[in-house]
Structure 1
Amino acid sequence: MDNKYSILIISFLSLGGSATAFLLGGLDSLIKVLLALIIIDYISGLMAAAIQRTLSSRVGFKGITQKVFILALVAVAHMIDMVLGYHHFIRDATIVFYMVNEILSIIENAGRVGLPVPGFLKRAIEQLRKLGDIDSDATKSKKSSKKAEKKKDSNQK
């Protein structure tokens, strides 16, 4: 009986992996790095929130939802590439955008836990923000939603 369940589980995992690889345009180094950065950002955000005593399951769930949407947007970008006949151009640009965004968030989390951030890194981050328009609507809405959540949490206390 155990062997049948093992085969079934392996089959479902293989199917899921194949579907994911298709949707994301393969599991190349860009996707692997993006996935690693997503995980590091989420964990560093949890640690920063724990240290600041602002840990919230609602905020954590929202973070997971945002990470899933990043992958969904990569899948959409890959599909656009397929339709237009590009070879991963839009997909790769989308991945790089979110990689930079995740790196910025990880560095911000380092600052939240009291870790000093070197000046050269701050300058590099500022250049990346300007170059990739990272501090656009997505970042602004993230900041405004954080402010709204803090205000809501303080009103509940």
Structure 2
Amino acid sequence: MKFLHSLDSIATPANGWAATTGALLSSVFHYFYGTNRQDILVVLFFMIALDWITGVSAAKKDLSYSSEYGLARIPRTLFIVALPAVGNLLDRVMGTPGFLFYGVTFALIYHTWTSLTANAHRAGWPMPKSVERLVSAEIKAKAERAERKEPRS
């Protein structure tokens, strides 16, 4: 009887809503991104988070950050997160086994890696010279964009 009494704290309306929401979001996630692709998507989402962190740090260091610029990054990030889903949906339509999904996702990971690495360089964080050479074009492009922005007062 004590066991059944302990279920009172588990079988609550809030837990029911949470379980329903989780089940629905999981289904939507698997529909758009496919099954068994969580690991590669975690890598992409983690890289995007690191890109935001390094970008904010770099912008604060060179005083190029503005709230308008930061807010403009939100639609760009949503677009980047949506592209692998589009690749997956096209794979399903064309019957290809993940060709577009993985191609798009790995290209986005590489692009985000170069961006976050260039941001880290601009922020003054240490990194190997070989990595700096590898992303030197992105470092130069970010420095030029930062110079065109007016510094904060």
**TM-score with structure 1 setting the length:** 0.73
- The 5 Å alignment of 1:3-152 reads 3-26=12-35, 27-125=37-135, 146=145, 150=149
Any conservation in 1 of the 2:54–2:123 contact (CA below 8 Å)? no
Please give the per-residue CA displacement for 1:85-132, whole angstroms capped at 9, x wherever unaligned: 111111101001000011101111111111244222134446xx8xxx
Any conservation in 2 of the 1:78–1:88 contact (CA below 8 Å)? yes
Find the structure with the greater CA-based Rg: 2
Task: Give RMSD over aligned pairs.
Answer: 2.9
* Per-residue deviation, 1:147: 6.5
- State the one-letter code of the partner of 2:91: D
**TM-score with structure 2 setting the length:** 0.75
Any conservation in 1 of the 2:44–2:108 contact (CA below 8 Å)? yes
Q: Identity of counterpart residues, as a percentage?
A: 25
Any conservation in 2 of the 1:24–1:71 contact (CA below 8 Å)? no
Structure 1 counterpart of 2:4: none
Higher RCO by CA contacts (8 Å cutoff, separation 6 or greater): 2
Which runs of 5 or more structure 1 residues have no equivalent in the other structure? 130-134, 136-141
Which runs of 5 or more structure 2 residues have no equivalent in the other structure? 1-8
* Per-residue deviation, 1:30: 1.5
> Distance between the aligned counterparts of 1:115 and 1:148, measured in 2?
19
> Distance between the aligned counterparts of 1:65 and 1:91, measured in 2?
20
> Distance between the aligned counterparts of 1:90 and 1:71, measured in 2?
14
